[in-house]
Amino acid sequence: MYEQASHSLLNEILAELKPEIGNQRLRHFYTRLGANFYAIHSLFHLLYGERADFKEQMVSLVETLATRYIERTPALRKSDLAREKDYNWFLSQKWVGMALYCDRFADDLKGLRANLPYLQELGINMVHIMPMLDCPPDHSDGGYAVRDFYRIDPRFGTTAEVEALAATLRKRDMILVLDVVVNHTSDAHEWAQRARRGEQKYQDYYFVFDDRETPDIYEETMPEIFPATAPGNFTWDAEMGKWVMTVFNNYQWDLNYRNPAVLIEMIDIILFWANQGADILRLDAVAFLWKKMGSVCQNEREAHLLLQLMKDCCQVTAPGVLFIAEAIVAPGEISKYFGEDAINAKECEIAYNATLMALLWDAVATKSAAVLNQGIKSLPNKLERATWLNYVRCHDDIGLGFDDNDIRRAGFDPAQHRRFLIDYYTGRFPGSVARGLPFGENPKTGDARISGSLASLVGLESALESQDEAAIDAAIKTIVLLHSVILSFGGIPLLYYGDAVGTLNSLEYLADPAKAADNRWMNRSNFNWNKAEKRHQTGTVEQRIFSALKKMIALRKETQAFADFDNRQLLALDNPSLLLFSRADTHRNRVLVVGNFSDAAQTLSIEALRAHGYFLQDGMKDLCSGTRIGMVDDALVLPPLSCYWLAD
């Protein structure tokens, strides 16, 4: 009965569409709308069914989908059809991404197009450009405080240049990832400005209150995201004379998705950027989308319903476009952003594997894979048509968000262990070679996150200063080891610009008053093209890192076992220094990945491998070096800080 009512409502809505939409021949659009309307209507009704204007809002939603479909170019519609047929295209091992700031990597969009050969030389074919939308220059939060969702910041170029970049990437068999900030706007956004002027319509776009009574109820359970720089979750706006919810920074106003107009506006924004040629859209801060008194206002069920609605609507208008969930949440929560109780992703096809990232940094500091192995065992299962985004470093701080129980199982006290990690990476621990800074340090709890570039955190900066060749070699080996894991683990590996040439911490940000209080800018440096040129000079640090990563990326693309079809098996070992897992393709060709996180050589016994079905006669072939790894006393010998991709 409900499905019949839904079908009847669809006919009513179609009859009410604007003539310029209703008169169009939109065969594929109507087919997809019919296939997805039951889900769209059901979700919309769950969220907004009690509203008197429910039908009016549904008409507005469908008109938005149709309008953006009409604007979609023939080339993009053709891509949609191809990806609907090859719907697992993104699970292939051929995709390797890089995240970068357009201005810091290449000045602007024209510069980025001109420097695509550098990315292709390395093997990158998925380009994630950090936010480029118009933001106030002094309060941009690195591009996440958006003033205009439809306008590129003039420093980068124009919307037309985004389209041109997307077209160029397609010709090079590369894909484009863009950000959409879905949780909040800048307080300089037109909606916020009109709310300040007293327009009730736009005050309803946010969480706005006359006094502290309701904000104080929220504050009882909401954590502070930036306790040192932005304590609390509400800001008094003197011009408006009201309190407004500002979870991240006081100039970022949280959107109120209890208002369906906000959801429709955001879906329109998502489809606008899909129409500019984005293949994948990274949805920022999705865990925060729904606010509920008496809760932490993260990971609420309604947030998942909103994401399902966004996905279903995108399936109607731009089905070839994927979503990345930027949800840096507890390990048990992250897989929910693929969608629960399903085979195919109902929300986002891709999610950041923040847990693996944090576990890798644990292994580097401890020189042991003990916590890493425990944490991998506890990683939640993904859906069949979904995948992880695996990364070593990103633009943000490093949080230590792995499970306390995994730390205990590895034999450590969670609080003491995290204290050690913070001290190690900020150089407070005796003998530490890391050059990082604490970020968001909470004086009440002692908790902190960590800022710093990959190279500086693994000791390359301190090694270069002391000209210690052994320490330089160890730092380079650690960089390669970390990347070898993300390239082989299962999912899409995402490199960070600068890491392939050993970029160190930058302190330039201290001279900019708008950035000086945020030490994350030390790992958001301007790309040094003179340094990058050294990748062609034999024996340089840059050449040693770049050539090793380039070779591994090429080998990954050739190795079908690295495609992500739930084909990874973690293998148990008695040696806590080692990480060992196998990957297999559909023809049962296997690759054994083994990483030694110790700064001493380790052995892997043949008996241990035989227990997992590996029967060796004369060692195993390492795909990276092309040589066979020899045996001593019936064991494979693994040098310090090494990783092998072994084929039997």
**Residue 99 in contact with residue 495, Cβ under 8 Å?**
yes
The H or E element that residue 121 is part of is helix 116-122
> Which ranges constitute the DSSP H helices of 454-518?
454-457, 460-466, 469-488
Give dist(CA 235, CA 247) in Å, integer: 9
Sign of CA dihedral 631, 635, 638, 643: positive
Strands (E), 31-168: 97-100, 126-129, 133-134, 148-152
Q: Name the active-site residue from 284, 312, 362, 622.
A: 284
Please give the angle made by the CA atoms of 326, 328 and 331, to the nearest 5 degrees.
125
Backbone angles phi, psi at 180, to 5 degrees: -125, 120
Q: Give, to the nearest 10 degrees, the angle between helix 27-48 and helix 301-317.
A: 170
**Residue written as token pair 């504050």:** 219
Give me 628's structure tokens.
């066979």
The reply to whether 508 belongs to the active site is no
DSSP string, 61-73: HHHHHHHHHHHS-
Return the HEC string of 543-569.
Answer: HHHHHHHHHHHHHHHHCHHHCCCCCEE
Give dist(CA 422, CA 229) in Å, integer: 19
**Residue written as token pair 């030490």:** 519
Q: Name the active-site residue from 237, 312, 326, 518.
A: 326
Amino acid at 614: Y
The reply to whether 397 belongs to the active site is no
Q: Find residue 581's DSSP bridge partners.
A: 570, 593
> Which ranges constitute the DSSP H helices of 318-457?
331-334, 354-366, 370-377, 404-409, 414-425, 454-457
Give me 492's structure tokens.
């899409």
3 state SS of 22:
helix
- Give the side-chain half-sphere CA count within 13 A for 588: 2
Amino acid at 125: N
**Residue partners of 519: CB distance under 8 A and separation at least 6:** 437, 439, 451, 509
Give me 519's structure tokens.
């030490």
Give me 637's structure tokens.
């010998």
Q: How many other C-beta atoms lie within 10 A of the C-beta of residue 282?
A: 26
Give dist(CA 202, CA 646) in Å, integer: 59
Catalytic residues: 284, 326
